[in-house]
Amino acid sequence: MINDLSPAGPRARITAGRVRIMPEVLSAQNISGDLTLRSIMYRKALYLLPLALLATSCSNDNDEPDMPEGPAYELRTLTFEDADARFTPYDLDGINIATWSDLIDDTQYGGALLYGDFTSADYHWADAGNTMLGSGILDNGPFWNGGIVVSDYWLAVEEGLQYTDQLAVPTGSSDKAGHNGSRNFAVQNGYVDGESYKDKLPALAFTDGIERVIDHLYITNTSYTASVLRYGNAYTAAATAASWFKVIAIGYDAAGAETARLEFKLCQGTDIVSDWTRWDLSDLGEVAKVEFNIDGSDDLRGEWGLNTPAYFAIDDVAVRFPN
């Protein structure tokens, strides 16, 4: 801001709170008595100094500082760790569930939690009080129906692993197989295509029905699937340079309309994922649920669908909650 004050005699200009004297051409006739040019300029400066200070003060009073904006959302993470369990304890066929570890079966195949009496198993879970995500086994059946279940099993990838090793991952070590060295994670079994007998996909759904953005999760192969991809088995050959094996995430809004699809390759050629890897799901948009399907290249398939075991593991699912 520039103020130009013009009292008689030299002019002064206030620029950004500073006083600058602008002398004019003066003649002897303009100076009366014994006043000199220097004394006139000095008096003008003293006269204008309070005005300069006032202008600076007013300018500072009107300039409000820019306040930083806070984040648009907070991230809440489904970790499957006992310390983060906020749900109310409940029973599954007489088994008390108070922590995430209570949802881990005593054996990888055929246990009471995941298989019940081999005709039904009412296995379900919900991250109440946190991300509000929930899942379980489809149609209240045994785990071969498909579903998403909690696990902490670890096995190195080696030849000969089979369905009785279905809940293990090859990352980390025993008791530290989850993402970032944590203990627990989740395993999905199941897919749908034109050849399989199934018609429902496992899903993560918001149990309160509110649409939210799932920001990301971490994903990896199970030990069983990675073993078959690397070494093959009696039903399928090992992956080759032309092979691929992927997970498809399908978002749905509260009305059931599809929002978008995203894919993640767990195997590309002979490159087989065996570490926890971040998968950004934010492009699905606001969703009420996300279904997960599995697909593979023709060499990994047979007459009745995929011959490669249709499993993968997830951990640390992050959800956006608007501020």
Query: 10 Å Cβ neighbour count for 128?
Result: 15
Backbone φ and ψ for 102, nearest 5 degrees, come out as -65, -15
Tokens of 31: 């100076």
Q: What is the mean pLDDT of the chain?
A: 86
When pLDDT is averaged across residues 77-83 and rounded to a whole number, the result is 98
C-alpha to C-alpha distance for 311 and 124, rounded to whole angstroms: 18
Q: List the one residue out of 153, 157, 142 whose CA is nearest residue 186.
A: 153
Work out the percent of the chain whose per-residue pLDDT is above 90.
Answer: 74
pLDDT (tens digit per residue) in 147-195: 999 999 999 999 999 999 999 999 999 999 999 999 999 999 999 998 7
Please report the pLDDT score of residue 162 as a whole number: 97
Report, in angstroms and rounded to the nearest whole number, the Rg of the chain calculated over CA atoms: 35
Global pTM reads 0.79
SS3 317: strand
Q: List the one residue out of 176, 185, 181 whose CA is nearest residue 221.
A: 185
CB 187 within 8 A of CB 313: yes
Distances (CA, A) of 118 to 23, 111, 143, 144, 286: 102, 9, 9, 10, 37
Domain 73-322 adopts which CATH fold? Jelly Rolls (2.60.120)
CB 185 within 8 A of CB 313: yes
Q: How far apart are the first and last CA of the chain?
A: 39
Q: What is the 3-state secondary structure (H, E, C) of 218-237?
A: EEECCHHHHHHHHHCCCCCC
Distances (CA, A) of 305 to 139, 188, 201, 235, 309: 21, 17, 15, 11, 11
* Type of residue numbered 246: K
> Whose structure tokens read 């003008």?
44
C-alpha to C-alpha distance for 188 and 262, rounded to whole angstroms: 17
Domain ranges of the chain: 2-62, 73-322
Please report the pLDDT score of residue 16 as a whole number: 42
**Residue 268 pLDDT exceeds 90:** yes
Cβ neighbours for 272, distance < 8 A, ≥ 6 positions apart: 221, 226, 229, 230, 239, 266
Q: Which has more pLDDT, 17 or 293?
A: 293
**Residue 64 pLDDT exceeds 90:** no
